């Protein structure tokens, strides 16, 4: 074959190809790492709130049940946020002068709800309901972590597609009795799979089809 390029040009061509291919692989690896990183999923991040509300104090030390403030969680898709009068059921007597609670008192006086900023938010194209999970014996802790130890709330689990699917493929060992879903300290000495399989029969949980796309994207 005729020599079209000089030998030097050929070498440069090879070096350039190596750099380009190497660069592409590098970009790909960085993209893969970012995809899984806490930066991408928002795991561990906190958010500014109108009042620095502490779950550690209220759900941990004071042992207030999650459902006292997130009343929708058992019966509807959304857990919901507590209305101001829920806070004032205690704070009309407790810490009534605290500067920190001024926005709560103002909200009551002006009859305007506090605007809590969301810490956890799925993209709009994902369908999610709380009630099915809570009724099937999936504890808050499975998806939100040890909320009762959080001074400021953060996202404890990635809540990514693979996170959801991991359980949807095999829910049994992750289920707990329905009445304990809000109990962050619940544990059992019974074998989790054994217990879970019994609960699945009792609650009529049918895992067949739970991984099909239309369950979460409808
Ligand atoms: C005294 C009321 C109260 C109790 C009890 C309570 N919460 Fe909350 N929760 C709030 C308020 C207020 C917010 C909004 C401010 C914030 O993010 O900290 C919130 C936010 C959250 C969020 C973040 C939602 C989002 O997307 O922003 C989760 C998750 C949550 N709570 C779970 C729980 C769990 C689990 C429990 C029980 C262990 C619990 N909460 C107990 C009042 C309460
Ligand atoms: C069942 C009673 C009760 C309810 C309901 C309640 N609190 Fe409290 N809160 C307390 C007590 C008691 C303290 C003092 C905690 C301490 O210092 O150990 C406190 C403390 C606080 C503080 C001071 C900082 C801290 O965490 O120590 C803030 C801010 C606060 N609460 C906000 C709220 C908001 C906002 C709500 C409604 C979403 C709310 N609380 C609902 C009992 C309650
Ligand atoms: C199977 C996983 C899962 C379980 C179990 C779960 N959550 Fe959630 N939670 C989520 C997801 C996902 C979101 C975000 C929903 C969205 O953006 O549409 C969320 C959002 C929330 C929010 C804020 C928005 C709202 O009103 O829905 C609160 C508050 C909350 N969860 C509380 C709880 C409490 C309390 C429990 C236990 C009784 C619980 N969650 C159990 C996954 C879960
Ligand atoms: C720890 C286990 C677990 C995790 C994590 C989990 N799920 Fe589920 N999910 C279940 C169980 C159990 C059911 C109930 C199945 C039944 O009743 O047959 C369910 C049911 C559902 C349903 C209702 C299906 C129907 O037939 O109506 C949707 C939608 C859903 N999950 C979405 C999600 C999404 C989105 C996530 C991630 C953010 C998620 N789930 C995370 C266990 C889990
Ligand atoms: C159990 C719930 C669940 C099922 C089943 C599910 N997805 Fe998802 N999917 C999610 C969640 C949650 C996200 C959002 C992840 C995030 O926030 O980054 C998502 C994101 C996506 C995205 C956006 C790009 C990405 O990867 O983030 C695509 C595309 C997608 N899903 C396709 C599918 C297809 C195709 C199927 C069926 C094979 C499927 N999903 C089944 C929960 C589910």
pLDDT of 25 reads: 77
Residue ranges around ligand 3 (CB below 6 Å): 66, 70, 73, 78-80, 120-122, 128, 130, 133-134, 138, 140, 142-144, 159, 181-182
Ligand approaching nearest to the C-alpha of 196: 4
Q: Is 185 in the pocket of ligand 2 (CB under 6 A)?
A: no
Q: Round to whole Å and give the CA distance between 143 and 150.
A: 14
SS3 percent helix, strand, coil of the chain, rounded to 5, is 50, 0, 50
Global pTM? Answer: 0.90
Helices (H) and strands (E) in the chain, counts: 11, 0
- 161 C-alpha vs ligand 1 centroid, how far in Å? 23
By percentage, how much of the chain surpasses pLDDT 70?
A: 94
Integer Cα distance of 46 and 53 in angstroms: 12
Rounded-to-integer distance, Cα 30 and Cα 24, Å: 10
Q: Using the predicted structure, report yes or no on whether residue 1 has a pLDDT greater than 70.
A: no
pLDDT band per the 50, 70, 90 thresholds, residue 32: low
> Mean pLDDT across the stretch 190-207?
96
Distance 96 CA to ligand 2 centre (A): 10
Task: Read off the pLDDT of each residue in 53-65 and give the average, rounded to a whole number.
Answer: 97
Among 26-35, 112-121, 123-132, 176-185, the range scoring the smallest mean pLDDT is 26-35
Nearest CA to ligand 3 atom 42: 143
- Min mean pLDDT across 1-15, 55-69, 98-112 is at 1-15
Within a 10 A sphere around the Cβ of 111, how many other Cβ atoms? 7
- Cβ pair 53, 98 in contact under 8 A: no
């Amino acid at each position: 074959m005729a020599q079209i390029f000089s030998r030097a040009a050929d070498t440069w061509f090879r070096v350039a190809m190596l750099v380009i291919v190497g660069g592409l692989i590098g970009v790909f690896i960085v993209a893969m790492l970012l995809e899984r990183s806490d930066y991408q999923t928002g795991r561990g991040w906190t958010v500014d709130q109108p009042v620095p509300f502490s779950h550690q104090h209220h759900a941990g030390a004071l042992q207030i049940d999650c459902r006292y403030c997130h009343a929708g969680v058992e019966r509807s898709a959304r857990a919901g946020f507590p209305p101001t009068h829920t806070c004032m059921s205690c704070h009309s007597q407790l810490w009534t002068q605290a500067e920190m609670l001024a926005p709560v008192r103002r909200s009551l006086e002006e009859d305007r709800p506090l605007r809590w900023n969301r810490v956890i938010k799925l993209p709009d194209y994902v369908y999610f309901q709380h009630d099915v999970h809570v009724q099937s014996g999936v504890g808050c802790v499975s998806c939100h972590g040890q909320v009762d130890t959080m001074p400021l709330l953060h996202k404890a689990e990635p809540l990514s597609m693979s996170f959801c699917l991991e359980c949807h493929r095999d829910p049994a060992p992750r289920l707990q009795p329905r009445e304990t879903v809000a109990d962050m300290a619940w544990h059992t000495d019974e074998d989790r799979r054994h217990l879970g399989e019994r609960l699945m029969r009792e609650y009529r949980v049918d895992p067949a089809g739970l991984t099909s796309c239309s369950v979460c994207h409808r």
